[in-house]
Amino acid sequence: MTTPAGTGPHGTASAPDAPAPARQVVPPEELHATELAFLAAHDTGSRPPGWRLTPRAVVTFVMGSRGVALTLPDDTAPPAGVPRRLVVEGKFVGDRALVERCVVTLAGERALLLTGEPGTAKSMLSELLAAAVCGSSQLTVQGTAGTTEDQLKYGWNYAQLLAGGPSPDALVPSPILTAMRRGAVGRVEEVTRCLPEVQDALVSLLSERRIAVPELAGGPDATAHAAPGFNLIATANLRDRGVSEMSAALKRRFNFETVGPIGDLDAETALVRRQARAALERSGAAFQVDDAVLEALVTAFRDLRDGRSAEGWEVERPSTVMSTAEAVAVAGALGLAAAYFPGDRDVLGLLPGHLLGVVRKDDPTDAARLRGYWDGPVRRRAEEGSATWRALWDLRTELED
């Protein structure tokens, strides 16, 4: 018996292929797949074992081609859907030399630890590096006080374990074990939040580049060896120093690189604008925060973060981290207010309240430090004739309890 086209096995109409579900966040290896394929064809130089791109191409992927259109060699046919000329977008705003050091570390099969204050794009940088090196940024363990050694090594499918005993089929590999087998880059987020005994599991893993599975002793799968290309990128917040201090043995197995705040006001403002606009576009709203408001927002964050204004005036720093990531969140909130409550209130008038919410996260008494900032740099800029800062000075009462 034949089934008519377009029907299921019982004569019912079959559903057409459903579109892929929308996602809030797309992994960089998918979001920038065209760039990765282009760079693999563009730079045909030597690659470390297991790498998809050359070290130079990895840096170009992360930092961009500086507005220059790259062209494939004449004797290179572009992969399907990939243009012959392409301007590679810059994705990480920071020090190019830092990224080059990170790439050299990974090329030497040395584990990399990215440290820094919260909100400095450590995780984003680790994702971009992993995507460029091995094509996947998703072999990740999130470090917490509840992270177990099994999450770094392996676990078991207990139904299969009870039914047939330990076997390779019953073993559930961790993301790190999967990275070892594939010769890929594994990632551990917030490694200093893991308990010391869990961190200790990384010491032997990074030294010996293998994981023993004693339950399978005597068989060929009793030891999982790292394939060429395997490496590890971990991140740690400086604010978490002392939560679970890394042992000297574990520290020796990493190269440390500190990711600092963005040094340039214009670059940080552009990043905040770009990421806030992208967040609103995902919500289906247009971004309608003008440049003067954005510049005031980023300037306030930088002043409070540095403890000194752009003019050199002293500022009392709040205890919370005034990170670029927080600035993006505030810019997004202002954009949503403008989109969903148009005309109800001037967007600039919402800024003091949002800043107050940020500085009080760690210590409610930091509200006094924000008022001190208003009484200092905000007032002085208003007196110098800036219309934007004059409007903000007039909103001083919004900061009163």
pLDDT 10s digits, 190-212: 999 999 999 999 998 999 999 99
Q: Give yes or no for residue 3 having a pLDDT over 60.
A: no
Question: In whole angstroms, what is the distance from residue 194 CA to residue 145 CA?
Answer: 5
- The model's pLDDT over 223-274, given as tens digits with 9 standing for 90+, comes to 999 999 999 999 999 887 768 889 999 999 999 999 999 999 999 999 999 9
Do the beta carbons of residue 105 and residue 112 sit within 8 Å? Answer: yes
First to last CA, the chain: 78
Q: Give yes or no for residue 351 having a pLDDT over 60.
A: yes
Positive/negative CA dihedral, 105, 107, 113, 116: positive
Q: Which residues contact 201 (CB under 8 A, 6 or more apart)?
A: 149, 152, 153
Q: Give yes or no for residue 14 having a pLDDT over 70.
A: no
pLDDT of residue 158: 94
- The model's pLDDT over 72-122, given as tens digits with 9 standing for 90+, comes to 999 888 999 999 999 999 999 999 999 999 999 999 999 999 999 999 999
pLDDT of residue 103: 98
Q: Give yes or no for residue 6 having a pLDDT over 80.
A: no
Cα dist from 13 to 2, 8, 18, 19, 20, whole Å: 14, 6, 14, 18, 21
- Residues facing residue 259 across a β-bridge: none
- The model's pLDDT over 37-81, given as tens digits with 9 standing for 90+, comes to 999 999 999 999 999 999 999 999 999 999 999 999 998 889 999
Q: Which residues contact 217 (CB under 8 A, 6 or more apart)?
A: none
Question: In whole angstroms, what is the distance from residue 137 CA to residue 118 CA?
Answer: 20
- Structure tokens belonging to residue 258: 């500190």
Give the distance from CA 202 to its chain's centroid.
Answer: 22
Cα dist from 67 to 83, 99, 262, whole Å: 16, 18, 20
Higher per-residue pLDDT: 8 or 152: 152
Residues in the chain: 401
pLDDT of residue 9: 40
State which amino acid sits at residue 393: W
Helix and strand numbers (H, E) in the chain are: 17, 11
pLDDT, the chain, mean: 92
Q: Give yes or no for residue 300 having a pLDDT over 60.
A: yes
Q: Which of these ranges, 21-25, 143-147, 178-182, 332-336, has the smallest mean pLDDT?
A: 21-25
- pTM, 2 dp: 0.90
pLDDT of residue 244: 85
Question: In whole angstroms, what is the distance from residue 112 CA to residue 98 CA?
Answer: 12
